[in-house]
Structure 1
Amino acid sequence: MFKVIRKRDGREVPFDEGKITDAIFEAARAVGGEDRQTAMELTIEALKMLKKKFNGHAFSVEDVQDIVEKVLIEAGHARTAKAYILYRDRRTRIRDAKGDLMDAVEEILEETSKENANISNSPSAKMLQIASAASKKYYLTRLIDEDFSLAHQRGDIHIHDLDFYGKTLTCVQIPLGRLLAEGFDNGHGYIRPPKRPASATALAAIILQSSQNDMHGGQSFAFFDRDIAPYVENASDDETYQAMEALVYNLNSMHSRAGAQVPFSSLNVGTETSAAARKVTRNLLLAYEAGLGRGENPIFPNIIFRVQEGVNYNPEDPNYDLFKLALRVAAKRLNPTFSFMDSSFNKEWGDQVSYMGCRTRVMANRRGPAITDGRGNLSFTTINLPRLAIKAERDMQQFYRLLDNMMNLAIRQLYHRFGVQAKLKVKDMPFVMGQGLYLESRGLKDCDPIRDAIVNGTLSVGFIGLAEALTALTGRHHGQDKDAQVLGNEIVARMRRLIDEACEEYDLNYTLLATPAEGLSGRFIGKDRKEYGIIPGVTNKEYYTNSFHVPVNFPISSFEKISLEGIYHKYCNAGHISYVEMASPPVHNPEAMEAIVRHMRDSDMGYAAVNFPVDFCTGCSTLGVINEDKCPRCGSTAIRRVRRITGYLSTVDRFNDSKVAELNDRIIHEF
C-alpha cells in the first residue's frame, strides 16, 4: 500500500507495516495482553486511516504514531494506548539523548570540557570525556528515576559526577599507616612494606594512584606525618627531604586519573609531636616551598596543616615552629591550607578531624566508629538555592516550602544512588575494597556487595549561591546587610536540620556540604538567566557565588569577610572552606598572614586559606606577580598562572569560562 516513510532526519526509507504491529503488540504486552492477532487488526485500521488522511502523499514516523494512538483509543484499548504513549515518549527521550550525545562528542573532539580545572586537552582526556558523556546520557535516560533526572536536567539540582553514578564512590581518607606496615597488592603482585623514607613515599604515591583508579573524587592521607614517621626515625634530614621532594614530584606527574589528570591528593599534617613525625612535616613543607624542578609552584599535593592550641598554636607549644613554617610556605605557595581542631564542631574529636583539598570532611558515624581513616563521601547533589528564591518572589513561606521540597528530593535521590552503589561488588573496586582501604571492607570476598562497608560513608546535599538567593529574597546579600546575614544563617541552619532528620529517617550519614561549585557555578546561572531573565545581583553575571561566600566582587576587609562566613562552617558538616584575597604573595609580611589565619580560627572556621596570584615565566623561571602578557625580564609570553579554584590549585588556562569570569571579578580584601 505504502512504499516509503519519512524519518525524523528527513530521509525516506522503505515502509514496513510490521513495525506498527510490533509496536502495538509490545504496548499490549506491557499491560498484560498477548493477542498478536488483535495487534494485526489494529494495524489494518491504522493503515486505512493513513490512506484516508494522506491520500498518497508522503508522511512521517510521527504521523504514523499519532494515527496509532488515535486507533487504539477509538477501539477501546485505553490501557494499551497509554502504554504506547509511554513507549513513544521513552523512545523519544532515548533518541534525543543519542542526538545530544553526538553533539557532546563533537564538542569534545574540538576541545575537552573544562568542567574540572585539571583536565588536559590530550587524546586520552578526549576519549575519557566521550565515555563520560555517554555514561551521563545512559544514567539520565535508563537508570535514574524520572523526577530526579528531570530535576537535574532543568537545573533544580545538580547530580555531581553523574557519569560515575552507578560505578564507584567519590573519595576516601586512606589508612596509609596500615597499608605501609602490612604491604598491599595493587593488581600485579604483593608489594612488601618499605624500610627507608624514599621507599615509603614512593609507595604512598602508588597507593594514591591505585586508589584514584577505583574512585572519581579525591584521595587523602588523614595522618601523613604519623604514618610516615616510622620510616624516617633513623634517617637524616637530607634523606627525608629527598623522599618528600620525590613525593611532590610524583604527585604532579602521575597522569593516571580520569581525563589524564594527576590524582587529587591531600596530606593532613601538623599535630603529631614525635621527633620523627616532626621531621616528616618539616621536610614536606620545605620540599613544597622549594617547588618543582625550576621553581614552579606545585599543584599537588594539597597540604592541610592542622592548627590546635596546646600543640602548635602558641609559642610555648611543641609544634609552634612547624606552624610558623607552614605560614611561611603558604605565603609563597598558596599551600598549605589550614584546618582548625579547636572549632566548636571539631573540638570534641581532638586532633582526629581531617579534610580533603576541595573541602570534604568526614567524621561522625551512625553506623560505626567515628574516625576519619577508611571513610569518605559516597556522592553529593547540589540544590539551586537562587532559583528557589527567584520562584518564591520574596514570599518567605513559599521559599521555605520550595526549599523543604527540594531538599527532600535531593535526599531521596541520594538514597537511590546509595542503593545502586551498595550493589557494587568488591571486584568492582579491587584496590579500595579488595585491599581493605574502606572501613569494614576487610574480609569481604570479590563477589560480595560493598553495602556493609559504605554505610560508613556520607551522602551529602550541597548548595551554592546563598548570596544571590538572599538578594532575590531581600534585595541585599549578607555582606551588605545585617538582616540578610541573619536570614542566611536561618536558611543554612534549616537545611542542616533537614539533613539531620534524614539521618534519623534513613539511618545513614547524611551531611550538608558547602558545594565546591566549579562547572556548576555557570550551569545553574545559565539556566536561570534563560528562564527568568536578567535579575540585578542575581543572574547578571556568569556564575553563582560559591556556597555561603560573600560575593567575590564585594568590597570588604579580610577580617569582616572571615567573621561573616565563619558562622556557616558549623552547619556544613560535609565540608566547608573560606578564603581571602591578597594582591601578592605575603612573603615579606608574615605578620599579616598569621593574623588572618588566627582570625579564621577565632571565627569558628573549620578549614580556610589565603589566596594571591602566583605567576611563573617558563622562559626564565621568574616567580612572582606578572600582570602583563609577557615576562618583564625575558619577554616570554609563556606564563604559568596558578590560582586556587574551589579549594584545589590549578592553572588559569584550565579554568572554564564561568570560573575565569569569577577570577576576573575577585577583588583584594584589605588587611
Structure 2
Amino acid sequence: MCRSFLSVWYDKENNPIIDGRFNKGVVTLNLPQCAIVADGDINKFWKLLDERLELCHKALKFKTERLLGVKASVAPTLWMYGAYARKDADDILDDLMVGGYSTLSLGYIGLYETIKLLTGESNTKHQNLALKITRYMADKCEDWNNQENYGYSLYSTPAESLCYRFAKLDKEQFGEIKDVTDKGYYTNSHHVDVREHINIFDKIDFEAPFQENATGGFIGYGEIPNMTNNIEALETIIQYIYDHAMYWEFNTKLDHCMKCGFDGEILPDGHGDWICPKCGNQDHNTLKVIRRTCGLI
C-alpha cells in the first residue's frame, strides 16, 4: 500500500524495529453518511460519529482478538518461516498482536463531502472543522490503545474502489445530493475535491496539516503540467513540498506523439479518445499517453 505506515516500535534494547512487522487490517469509516444522516445538525453529526467509530473499533478489535491464542503452525510461511516471524509450530502469536508490534488502521473517506454537507462549502474554506474531525478520530485511536494496546492508528484511506462503492450505496439509500452523491464518488480521505481549481502550493498548505493526525498512513497528490522547459519551477515545487509536507508526490503530463515529435500533453478529443494538439494525430499506435487514474499508473 503506497501510503500505509507502521508506528514506531522498540525492542527490549530500545532499538526501532521495522522488519517483520505488519498491519492486521483496515476498517474505513464512511464520513459523508454520518453527515447525510445528521442533516446539517453538527451536534447530531458528532453523536453519529461516536457511534460509527465504536462500530469500527469493534471490527478492528476482532481482527486482533481472533488471532490471540492461535499457534504459529496455522500459517507456517507467515509465522514460522520468516515472512512475519520465526516461531516454533506450537508457539502462540500473542506477542506479535499486542503492544504495537503489529498495527490496526482506522480509515476514513470523504472529508470534502462531509464538510460540504455540514457547511454548504468546500473543505478548503473550513480547514479548522475538517482538522477537528480528523484529530477527534486520531484521539479515539489513542484512547483505544490506552485501553487495549493493540496498535490502533488513523489512516487516510486511498479508497480506490471504496470511493465509488460508498457513494453508490448512499445514493441508493438517500438519493442524489448535489456535490455529494451526484458525482459518483467520494473524495479520497482529507483531499481537496478533484474538481476544485487550486494551485499546488495552496493544495499543499491545506492538506499537509492533516498528515500529522494520520499516523497510520497518508499521501498528498498534486497535478502539474509538463515542466520539461521550466526545471527551476519544478525545483521550487519540490522544495516547497520538502519544507511543508511529510509525504507528497505530483503527477505530470509526459505524453509523446511519434508522428510529429510533440512532447507535452496529448488532449482528450471530447469523444473518449486522444488527439495530438500539434498535428491532430489520433492513431493509438503512434501516441504515447500516460495518465494516473487511481493510486497507480
**Distance in 2 of aligned mates of 1:419 and 1:621:** 60
Q: Note the C-alpha offset of 1:433.
A: 3.0
Letter of the 1:434 partner, please give it: M
Is it true that 1:545 corresponds to 2:193 in the alignment? no
Deviations 1:601-651 (A, max 9, x none): 322x2210011234467999987532254675875324564333554x22x
Distance 1:475 1:643 in 2: 32
Quickly say closer, same or farther: Cα 1:536–1:454, change in 2 above 3 A.
same
User: Hey, what does 1:568 align to over in structure 2?
Assistant: 210
Stretches of structure 2 lacking an aligned partner (at least 5 in a row): none
Match of 2:236 in 1: 595
Q: Which of 261, 271, 283 is matched with 1:636 structurally?
A: 283
When the two structures are aligned, how many residues end up with a matched partner?
Answer: 285
CA apart distance, 1:548: 0.3
Task: Return the offset for 1:460.
Answer: 0.4
Structure 2: distance between partners of 1:477 and 1:363: 31
* RMSD, aligned α-carbons: 2.8
Query: For residues 407 and 620 of structure 1, what CA distance do their matches in structure 2 show?
Result: 56
Structure 1: gaps spanning 5 or more residues? 1-217, 219-357, 651-671
Relative to structure 1, the CA distance from residue 635 to residue 405 in structure 2 (aligned partners, 3 Å threshold; closer, same or farther) is closer
**Structure 2 CA distance for partners of 1:630 and 1:534, relative to 1, 3 Å:** closer
Rounded to whole Å, the distance in 2 between the matches of 1:494 and 1:434 is 39
Please state whether the residue corresponding to 1:609 is helix, strand or coil.
Answer: strand
Which of 94, 101, 112 is 1:451 aligned to?
94
Distance 1:366 1:590, change over 3 A: same
Name 2:250's counterpart in structure 1.
610
Identify which range, 393-402 or 547-556, moves more after superposition: 393-402
Separation in structure 1 between the aligned mates of residue 55 and residue 164 of structure 2, nearest angstrom: 22
Pairing 1:460–2:86 present: no
Partner of 2:221: 579
- What is the alpha-carbon distance in structure 1 between the residues aligned to residue 177 and residue 24 of structure 2? 36
Q: Quick one: distance in 2 between partners of 1:526 and 1:510?
A: 29
Match of 1:411 in 2: 57
Contact residue 155 and residue 218 of structure 2 kept, 8 A: yes
C-alpha distance in 2 between matches for 1:529 and 1:452: 44
Change (3 A) 1:502 1:366: farther
Compared CA separation, residues 414 and 554, structure 1 to 2 (3 A): same
Among all aligned residue pairs of Structure 1 and Structure 2, give the percentage whose two residues are the same amino acid.
33
Of 478, 494, 498, the residue aligned with 2:123 is 478
Q: Secondary structure at the match of 1:643?
A: coil
Q: Which residue of 2 aligns with 1:362?
A: 6
Q: 1:367 to 1:574 in 2, by over 3 A?
A: farther
Shift of 1:408: 1.4
- The answer to whether the aligner puts 1:487 opposite 2:145 as a matched pair is no
**Aligned residue in 2 for 1:399:** 45
Match of 1:658 in 2: none
SS at match of 2:66: helix
| C-alpha distance in 1 between matches for 2:89 and 2:153 | 30
Considering fraction of residues, name the structure with more helix: 1
Quote the Cα distance in structure 2 between the aligned partners of 1:627 and 1:568. 33
Q: What is the letter of the counterpart of residue 362 of structure 1? A: L
Asked whether the equivalents of residues 477 and 485 of structure 1 are also in contact (C-alpha less than 8 Å), the reply is: no
Distance 1:423 1:625 in 2: 56
Cα distance in structure 2, aligned partners of 1:621 and 1:511? 49
Amino acid at match of 1:377: N
| 1:375 shift after superposition | 1.7
- Structure 1 residue 382, shift from structure 2 partner: 0.3
Find the residue that maps to 1:518 and give its secondary structure: coil
Give distance in 2, aligned partners of 1:566 and 1:488: 12
TM-score by length of 1: 0.40
CA gap 1:385/1:535 in 2 versus in 1, 3 angstroms: same
TM-score normalized by structure 2?
0.85
Q: 1:618 to 1:491 in 2, by over 3 A?
A: same
